[in-house]
Structure 1
């Protein structure tokens, strides 16, 4: 799937008749064998505004740093690395505040799924039925299962919130897990996801992926703060800004039975 095709996808998405789902992954602090997948879901009615807003944030950050930025790297912003080196911490915090305000203003829901080898033990009942894969997803691999589980959450969220059965979702995932331009297609998602699949791309080109990156960064920093016995003053300052974002993280737990049903249908 080339960039031109993605441009067509994005143009169609901004017309406001489709959901947009943007996903990124992150590691858990001090847990090398644990991954967390984060999805930000955007309603069709605000899709165009979101694209304009995130572009405005990037433009503002570019003017702020006097750099030509195509994407925001939140770890660099927080740590004062690269182009942010000479910018005072208090000013850098302003970028986080703007993004939190964006999430709150548009009431953007965030779905999260963490997965580890230990967590996979909860699915022994699936494995005992011979269910160890679904399409390209290896359900015994914690990274694959984490994404698969999250996509089910996304599917159920949209089924419960969409206005009609014709509202489908275009799903984009940051390219780290698969190469830019790769798509994963499966009939399991055909009633909700456009083209029955998810597509991997560069967050510099598909800018709303950066919202998922921010949601993942915020989750990581919050977890580090909670685990720290002696948090730094700047960590406290960041957490004060991020704390309103907590209400946007939601959870739906209807997955295991659906996986069983879906696998049975696939094998018929």
Structure 2
């Protein structure tokens, strides 16, 4: 069975976290990569899992934000039952070890990199639209990591892979040519599908939800013991095989916005950026080693 790349979006559109690092305009994309060597096994396992959820809860597809919040068909499902569904999917992701790539963009992304030159010849893609810009950045990062993984296990990656994106930018069965990455992405084309039509998109929905919720927890919680919901999300996140994000052990008594932002600031400085995201364009003078 052919491998594939499945992508879903997340973020906090319009929601204020109180943190400069997670602004309300932030847009995130998450890709789950299913290598050729395990594609059949993953499809079979997901079919069994989704059939069970459909039979017990009447849900045709899994949207984990709705499951977590108890909305839609999950409104009358107990917290414990909803937690069980999240834990089951977490165990699937941990057991399979499917590679995950995550990419976030915000207005400060281009302010951080004023010398970036956006590519030409991007066709119908609107690079001023954070959602579309973020998806193209995800394609670039995912392609980079897939190439590296193929070098280590050539038979695991029968490239190019189709890229399936949760419908939104385009409707179900829409498609848009990509400007690059034809050695990794079939076409190269982004194929948009409703998540109910492809089990892999529900894997991407889960990974996107867990990463986004983990970051939300980090900047909104008060240090102290983890509550049940926080523990469930952070445990699920620890089981994801995210190939482009660092994992950081935390102590609940210290874990909150202040410690998280200190860590993010240090990471930005190490990358040659300002300690905190810029809110407007500024002129910066860089001094040489002799002060000139």
In which range does the TM-score fall when normalised by the shorter chain?
Answer: 0.7 to 0.9
Q: Give the structure 2 partner of residue 206 of structure 1.
A: 198
2:133 is aligned to 145
Structure 1 pair 185–226 and aligned structure 2 pair: CA distance change class (3 A): same
Gaps of 5+ in 1: 1-14, 253-268
Match of 2:258 in 1: none
Q: Which moved more, 1:71-80 or 1:234-243?
A: 234-243
Query: Quick check: 1:157 aligned with 2:145?
Result: yes
| Equivalent residue in structure 2 for 1:244, among 219, 238, 244 | 238
Partner of 1:79: 69
- Of 229-238 and 213-222, deviating more is 229-238
Q: Residues of 2 paired with 1:187 and 1:35: CA distance?
A: 21
CA distance in 1, matches of 2:56, 2:178: 43
User: What does residue 162 of structure 2 align with?
Assistant: 170
Matches of 1:32 and 1:24, distance apart in 2? 18
Q: Which residue of 1 aligns with 2:123?
A: 135
Tell me if 1:91 matches 2:84.
Answer: no
Report how far residue 218 of structure 1 moved.
0.6
What does 1:53-132 align with in structure 2 at a 5 Å threshold?
Answer: 53-65=45-57, 67=58, 69-127=59-117, 131=119
Q: Name the TM-score, length of structure 1 as normaliser.
A: 0.77
Which residue is 1:235 aligned to?
229
Using the TM superposition, give the Cα deviation of residue 149 of structure 1 relative to its aligned residue in structure 2, in angstroms.
0.9
Deviations 1:19-50 (A, max 9, x none): 31000111235333110010000100111111
Aligned residue for 1:196, secondary structure, equals strand
- Worse-superposed segment, 18-27 or 116-125: 116-125
How many aligned residue pairs are there? 231
Q: CA deviation at 1:207?
A: 1.8
